[in-house]
Amino acid sequence: MQISLDSPPSAPQPANAYYSQVARVELGGGGVMLYLSGQVADGDTLAEQSRGVFETIDALLKAHGATLADVINIRTYLTDIGRLHEYGAVRREFLTGTAPTSMTFEVSRLFKPEALVEVEVVAAVSPR
């Protein structure tokens, strides 16, 4: 098993240099697990921020040879769980296949004061 950490230059960069955006775990047999840090995005509305989050996640996965179809687990942090339907509508635009395992939490705030949503995912990539 080999582990590497990075923030791919082909994807939006993290808010600061104190963390890596992707942990890549290469498994025996050629499979790969990708653990993505929580992602936030700019935008005036929850829908805009959610769309930006999924665009960033898509770019990070692509940088490692994966797609959104490889996502097996998603964790979502919302500052207002009452707006879950707004986030869910955008999520369904991006995650169109079999739904991954999922957890959604309401939090009082996120590290970026204007952030309404933060999403982290785990993806499993089969050997090609």
pLDDT in tens, 13-58: 887 788 899 999 999 888 999 999 999 999 999 999 999 999 999 9
Q: Supply 28's token pair.
A: 């025996």
CA distance 127 to 125: 7
pTM beyond 0.85, yes or no: yes
Which neighbouring-strand residues pair with 118? Answer: 77
In degrees and rounded to multiples of 5, residue 8 shows phi and psi of: -55, 135
CA 6 to chain centre: 15
Q: Supply 89's token pair.
A: 């509508």
